Amino acid sequence: MSAPRLVRHDTVDSTNERAFAALAAGTARDGDVHTARAQTAGRGARGRAWASAPGEGLYASVVLLPDPPAPPPAALTMAAGLAVQDLLHALGLAGARLKWPNDVLVGQRKLAGILIESRGFDPRRPAFVCGIGLNALQQTFTPEVEARGATSLAREGVALAPEAALDRLLPHLAARLAEARERPADLCAAFAAAAGLLEGPVRVLRGEVELRGRITAFGLDGLALETGAELVRIPLEHATGVSPV
């Protein structure tokens, strides 16, 4: 990831869309960071809307143009999630943890989410957009968001404006992306620990099929699940859910 170039927007559909528009126009550079005061069509995993109240959250998308061979999206998701956790730990939120594949929690409540996208992927010129949504100043949420379980830095006792959060996040993100490139096994080990995947029994969703057991290996090539009856190997892209029981 190159030195970031900030591209500030006021109100946009989504920062990911603005980043892809820059890629399509040929003006994007590796490390560009698109931020917005508000989003009208922010989204998270599985197409869910991401609440983007004006001035209350960090809505940012980072353009990543890695040299081939491109890292798998799972590595980028892990790197971004760990970077957000690194930030939260530095802010004193020691209980911040990760939830597969792209949520950052404090206790049981969601504080941040990650969305990695690539469109028209060309292995000769890989391009990704790393979207990060972080609740910062919110004291209230819509009933729907509240029902799903949400929190913010302010609710957790941390007073930090979105732009200040971005300034503090970017060095952590650069470090974790370097780890994804240079030491992917270390990255996977850190993610597994942060998500509590190796501490005991886990529940794994492979499509519509639920499996339970213990993870004996976890890496970019997939995970190995000891169910008691057999050892099942599952590629990470096929694991739609992985959580401690």
Percent of the chain topping pLDDT 70: 97
User: Is residue 3's pLDDT more than 90?
Assistant: no
pLDDT confidence of 87, banded at 50, 70, 90? Answer: very high
User: Is residue 46's pLDDT more than 70?
Assistant: no
User: Is residue 207's pLDDT more than 90?
Assistant: no
pLDDT tens across 130-158, in order? Answer: 999 999 999 999 888 898 899 999 999 99
Query: Residue 43: what pLDDT?
Result: 75
User: Is residue 123's pLDDT more than 90?
Assistant: no
214 dihedral zone (left: phi>0; alpha: psi -120 to 50; beta)? beta
* Mean pLDDT taken over the chain: 93
Cβ atoms 162, 8 nearer than 8 A: no
| pTM, to two decimals | 0.94
More confident residue, 179 or 1: 179
Both tokens of 44, joined, read: 């998270």
Phi and psi angles of residue 82, each rounded to the nearest 5 degrees, phi first:
-65, -35
In the chain, what are the domain boundaries?
6-194, 202-244
Phi and psi angles of residue 170, each rounded to the nearest 5 degrees, phi first:
-60, -40
pLDDT tens across 18-41, in order? Answer: 999 999 999 999 999 999 999 998
pLDDT confidence of 47, banded at 50, 70, 90? Answer: low
More confident residue, 90 or 228: 90
The angle formed by the CA atoms of residues 182, 61 and 39, to the nearest 5 degrees, is 160
User: Is residue 77's pLDDT more than 70?
Assistant: yes
Both tokens of 103, joined, read: 């949520």
Which CATH superfamily is 6-194 part of? Bira Bifunctional Protein; Domain 2 (3.30.930.10)
* Paired residues of 82 in beta bridges: none
Query: Residue 4: what pLDDT?
Result: 82
Tell me which residue has tokens 């957000």: 84
